């Protein structure tokens, strides 16, 4: 029941109680109550209880709105604490926490993705262009995976994805699709020059990993194998 509805109930209760008490008293011999007293018995509690009940109702409503605002603010802060502000993906801590939860539900495939020659992009085209590249790649990752997959930025130019319920072969197919999608991205620096983007991806199936740390380590080794083999390719963990 809304606060102002409760206030009306309180007012009606106050008036009714006063009149009921007067009616009971009037039933005793010699206790007849004149009409003016009945009128007073009606209006006195009405005038007293109405402002009190309305004030209390207003305070309750203000408290309710304040509580909702605080809950909304806390939810937004909680969301912001989980998100990498530049890319909009999960940050490292949030990704690892969700990865643990997802692995407990079902095995999948972990991808570690590193942007090729990112230092060269920053040095040659500037950090603003580097940030633009990271944002563009993050958007490409989001578009390439399913809604229930977990996608995060591990730090710097490294990203990670957990593909829920996938096998190593299907994960490798999607990883190569991600690689091709990044390769076709088109970004330009402030002078209008096109900046080439590629990534190297390590792919590790969860069924062979005893712990999350081992899973990430296997994906990391596969990613470095892809970079050592010439970059812009994927490697499956052994």
Catalytic residue among 32, 61, 68, 157: 157
**pLDDT per residue over 190-211, tens digit each?**
787 889 999 999 999 987 667 8
How much of the chain, in percent, has pLDDT values that exceed 90?
52
- Residue of 16 and 40 predicted with greater confidence: 16
- For 83, the 3-state DSSP assignment is strand
Confidence at residue 113, expressed as pLDDT on a 0 to 100 scale: 98
- Residue of 75 and 60 predicted with greater confidence: 60
Backbone angles phi, psi at 154, to 5 degrees: -85, -15
157 an active-site residue?
A: yes
31 pLDDT band, cuts 50/70/90, is low
- For 26, the 3-state DSSP assignment is helix
* Distances 174 to 31, 111, 161, 163 between C-alpha atoms, Å: 92, 10, 11, 9
Confidence at residue 4, expressed as pLDDT on a 0 to 100 scale: 57
63 pLDDT band, cuts 50/70/90, is confident
pLDDT above 60 (res 19): no
11 pLDDT band, cuts 50/70/90, is low
Contact between 15 and 42 under an 8 Å Cβ cutoff? The reply is yes
**pLDDT per residue over 96-125, tens digit each?**
999 999 998 888 999 999 999 999 999 988
Give the C-alpha separation, 94 to 92, whole Å.
6
DSSP H or E stretch at residue 109: strand 108-115
- Residue of 52 and 81 predicted with greater confidence: 81
The DSSP line for 170-205 is HHHHHHHHHHHHHHT--EE-TT--EE---EEEEEEE
């Amino acid at each position: 029941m809304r606060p102002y509805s409760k206030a009306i109930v309180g007012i009606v209760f106050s008036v009714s109680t006063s009149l009921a008490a007067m009616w009971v008293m009037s039933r005793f011999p010699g206790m007849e109550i004149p009409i003016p007293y009945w009128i007073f018995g009606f209006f006195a509690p009405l005038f007293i209880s109405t402002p009190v009940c309305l004030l209390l109702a207003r305070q309750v409503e203000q408290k309710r709105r304040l509580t909702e605002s605080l809950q909304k603010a806390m939810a937004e802060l909680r969301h912001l604490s989980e998100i990498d502000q530049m890319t909009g993906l999960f940050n490292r801590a949030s990704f690892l926490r969700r990865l643990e939860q997802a692995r407990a539900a079902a095995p999948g495939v972990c991808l570690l993705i590193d942007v090729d020659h990112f230092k060269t992009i920053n040095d040659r085209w500037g950090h603003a262009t580097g940030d633009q590249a990271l944002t563009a790649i993050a958007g490409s990752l989001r578009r390439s995976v399913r809604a229930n997959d977990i996608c995060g930025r591990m730090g710097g130019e490294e990203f990670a994805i957990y593909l829920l319920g996938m096998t190593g072969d299907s994960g490798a197919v999607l990883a190569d699709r991600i690689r091709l999608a990044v390769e076709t991205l088109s970004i330009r620096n402030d002078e209008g020059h096109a900046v080439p983007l590629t990534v190297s991806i390590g792919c590790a199936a969860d069924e062979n990993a005893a712990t999350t740390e081992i899973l990430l380590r296997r994906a990391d080794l596969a990613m470095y194998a892809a970079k050592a083999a010439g970059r812009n390719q994927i490697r499956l963990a052994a």
